[in-house]
């Protein structure tokens, strides 16, 4: 049996991590891996999460299974965080998953179960795991234009032109905020145009929201998801708690299925539970319980929001510092997009050869498509990166 295995494609980001670790140079900079880091290069445990974990350790009296869809209190808390009051709770089915990736996988499984012929439209570029999972599941996907390499902004005209090819029952995968890998985002006027197109064509939106709170704020980052969910007959939302709660290793995510017909919610909930059972049975609970405790305790929630805002403003400050330094060195505003992008990532829009030169000549590691993790910087490394970008001729 094992002799039938074939070598699989190497994950480019994991390869980058390995190369960075093996690089002996002092002053090397890791902008590749998509994990938040503070100014000291650490991914800290958030204060409210640590307090909730201590409380849980003192109070928890069982490690028994919770439910196939996870604790309903977690679903309620996350639905409130992502959707607020934009959609009636009775029309939303939800299930906890192993991380945001698990939610995406379950969403694609749900689509395949409902309509094996559905095509999934994905932005070009998108998070590589989107297309990797679709390939593995044997699902057809179609790329739509998204990033303009010249302006480093959204190619909205190209996007809308490509999405006119969607048909009823197709899925349009959208990044709710902080687009990965580009950092370029739609404004609400553009989101409304997308909603209008979805309603005209009968296509179904699927929103991947992994960075709520990292862009313009918790409420602001949820605005697009709330607009879409309240404006279309059906939608899917995959949310992650890895970034905004800092609980990467706890693998905490949720999949929501929103339907206009509240009577459909019961069957949707049964289906989500069924899919959990087939893939991993009961979802992990530890991270989900911490999130529930933080969101349901006024004091913990206030402290979490305050720390999350510190994180957001810190990344925004690094963006502005980098854009300003590049303007000073280049005498040009061509890097102003870095201050306009939001979230952990920006795409420089340069060539793989230039990215390789940054690595070999300056010890600066980023993904080959020029996606860089802004959170991998600090006030001292920004000028180093800016000089390197100018030196290699980006």
List the catalytic residues: 127, 208, 210, 243
- Torsion, Cα 188 318 20 351, to 10 degrees, reads 60
Tokens 């307090």 belong to residue: 51
Kindly report whether the peptide bond that precedes residue 125 is cis, defined as omega within 30 degrees of 0: yes
Q: What values do phi and psi take at 189, rounded to 5?
A: -65, -40
- State the DSSP string of 226-271: HHHHTTSSEEEEEEE-TTTS--GGG-EEEEEEEESSTTHHHHHHHH
Q: Where are the beta strands (DSSP E) in the chain?
A: 29-30, 92-98, 120-124, 141-145, 147-148, 153-154, 171-175, 204-209, 234-240, 252-259, 345-347, 364-365, 371-373
Please answer whether residues 163 and 194 qualify as being in contact, where contact means their C-beta atoms are separated by less than 8 angstroms. yes
| DSSP 8-state code for residue 278 | H
Helix, strand, coil fractions of the chain, as percent rounded to 5: 50, 15, 35
Whole-angstrom distance, CA of residue 369 vs CA of residue 377: 18
Q: Which two tokens stand for residue 234?
A: 């059906």
Q: What are phi and psi of 231, to 5 degrees?
A: -120, -10
Strands 153-154 and 371-373: unpaired
CB atoms within 10 A of CB 278: 10
What SS3 state is found at 143? strand
For residues 141 and 121, give the distance between their C-alpha atoms in angstroms, rounded to a whole number: 6
């Amino acid at each position: 049996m094992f002799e039938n295995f074939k070598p699989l494609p190497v994950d480019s980001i994991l390869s980058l991590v390995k190369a960075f670790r093996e690089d002996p140079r002092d002053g090397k900079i890791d902008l590749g891996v998509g994990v938040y880091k503070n100014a000291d290069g650490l991914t800290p445990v958030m204060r409210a999460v640590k307090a909730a974990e201590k409380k849980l350790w003192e109070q928890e009296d069982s490690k028994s299974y919770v439910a196939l869809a996870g604790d309903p209190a977690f679903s309620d808390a996350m639905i409130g965080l992502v959707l607020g009051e934009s959609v009636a709770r009775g029309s939303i089915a939800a299930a906890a998953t192993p991380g945001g990736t698990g939610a995406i996988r379950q969403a694609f499984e749900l689509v395949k179960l409902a309509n094996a012929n559905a095509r999934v439209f994905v932005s070009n570029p998108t998070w590589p795991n989107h297309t990797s999972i679709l390939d593995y599941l044997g699902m057809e996907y179609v790329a739509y234009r998204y990033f303009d390499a010249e302006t480093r902004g959204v190619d909205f005209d190209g996007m809308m032109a490509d999405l006119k090819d969607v048909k009823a029952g197709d899925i349009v995968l959208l990044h709710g905020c902080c687009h990965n890998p580009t950092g370029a985002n739609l404004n609400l006027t553009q989101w409304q145009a997308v909603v209008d197109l979805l309603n005209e064509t009968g296509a179904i939106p699927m929103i991947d929201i992994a960075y709520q709170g990292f862009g313009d704020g918790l409420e602001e980052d949820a605005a697009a998801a709330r607009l879409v969910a309240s404006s279309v007959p059906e939608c899917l939302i995959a949310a992650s708690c890895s970034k905004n709660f800092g609980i990467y290793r706890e693998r905490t995510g949720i999949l929501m299925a929103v339907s206009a017909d509240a009577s459909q919610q019961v069957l949707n909930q049964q289906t989500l539970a069924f899919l959990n059972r087939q893939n991993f049975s009961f979802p992990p609970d530890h991270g989900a319980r911490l999130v529930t405790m933080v969101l349901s305790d006024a004091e913990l929630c206030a402290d979490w929001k305050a720390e999350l805002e510190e994180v957001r403003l810190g990344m925004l400050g690094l963006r502005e510092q980098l854009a300003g330094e590049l303007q000073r060195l280049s005498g040009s505003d061509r890097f102003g997009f870095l201050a306009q992008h939001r979230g952990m990532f920006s795409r420089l829009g340069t060539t793989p050869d230039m990215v390789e030169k940054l690595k070999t000549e300056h010890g600066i590691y980023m993904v080959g498509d020029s996606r860089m993790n802004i959170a991998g910087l600090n006030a001292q490394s920004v000028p180093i990166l800016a000089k390197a970008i100018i030196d290699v001729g980006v």
